[in-house]
Structure 1
Amino acid sequence: MRFLGVDPGSHGAIAVLTEDGSIHAVHDMPSVEVKVGKTKRTRVSTALLSDLMREITDMACIVTVEDVGGFSGQSCSAAFTFGRACGQLEGVLTALQLPVAYVTPQKWKKAAGIVSDKGAAREAAMRLWPAHAHLFKRVMDADRAEACLLARHGWLSVQRAVAA
């Protein structure tokens, strides 16, 4: 059994934990650069995401995805782009018939003992998985840390259910 955690978005990440809660793999969200007007933008690649999810879900798994919404101060176009990325993820997970649990940031962060600060997620991930601390050392690695903590949330839910 594997436990997947997904921090959605074009700069998100996907983490895979083993049955004992250790890190098996961490992947940045598969993305491509597209030209929008005169600038390049990062967008989720549905094809690459689908390929990756098929590869990492070759055995039974439970997927925990952050249940997100728009962000305060976010432009309409940014909110639409983020929503599209979430829809692409949901479409791939549904097509692969994977069991998915959506968890609000407040719920999984409280369970992880952290506040909303992304730096706290990185610190928690480095503390929980010191052998993999290199995956979380940069500020931009916060999404990886959050994906790992989301996977851990799913793993802990199963551990509690088994113990009950």
Structure 2
Amino acid sequence: MRKILGIDPGQTGGLSIVDENFNLIDCVLMPTIKTDGGKKRVDPRGVHAFISKYNPDLAIVELVGARPGQGVVSMFNFGDSFGQVRAIAEVLCADVRYARPQEWRGYQGLSGLSKEQIAEVAYEIFKAEAIYGKARKDGARAIRDGISDSLMIAKYGVRFLE
């Protein structure tokens, strides 16, 4: 069974592995560590460990850019995270492809949906409890959109297996 890795890069992103029949194998929040200054960053060792554990046949990395109003420091940090994840995927995966959010969402009919709605779709398909966190004060469950996005990115990747 061929395995597809979906990557939502960044500190709040996620890593997901599914097979070609859309069976969930594993999903995690993006591994992070704290730096000497107490700031959080992507943990390349954690990313490497997750990817090498499953030896995916294909990786799909979300290709994202700067957002309006995003500061220079946050863009630098995001670029650093993206570069680390991209490099690890390129080294460990036989085939790596990149998809803009508009591509993977549009292909699956998810354009215009909120993060919460995408999480609901991902949960219906994969039944991944990791999508939802602790209940908020209003009783609603917190959404880990890095996981739901990485699952749907991996699902999008199945189309490239021929």
Does TM, normalized by the shorter one, top 0.5? yes
- Aligned residue number for residue 125 of structure 1: 122
- Aligned residue number for residue 157 of structure 2: 154
- Aligned residue number for residue 26 of structure 1: 27
- Aligned residue number for residue 87 of structure 1: 83
Return the TM-score normalized by structure 2: 0.85
Q: Where is the helix percentage greater, Structure 1 or Structure 2?
A: 1
- Aligned residue number for residue 111 of structure 1: 107
Which aligned segments of 4 or more residues in structure 1 are displaced greater than 6 angstroms? none
Q: Find the residue that maps to 1:65 and give its secondary structure.
A: strand
- Aligned residue number for residue 54 of structure 1: 52
Q: Find the residue that maps to 1:156 and give its secondary structure.
A: helix
CA distance in 2, matches of 1:97, 1:7: 16
Q: Which runs of 5+ in 1 are unaligned?
A: none
Q: Find the residue that maps to 1:43 and give its secondary structure.
A: strand
Count of residues in Structure 1 that have an aligned counterpart in Structure 2: 152
The correspondence for 2:131, drawn from 132, 136, 148, is 136
CA distance in 1, matches of 2:86, 2:92: 10
Return the TM-score normalized by structure 1: 0.85
The alpha carbon displacement at 1:96 in A equals: 2.3
The alpha carbon displacement at 1:48 in A equals: 2.0
Q: Find the residue that maps to 2:35 and give its secondary structure.
A: strand
CA distance in 1, matches of 2:94, 2:66: 25
Q: CA RMSD for the aligned pairs?
A: 1.7
Counterpart residue identity of residue 45, structure 1: D
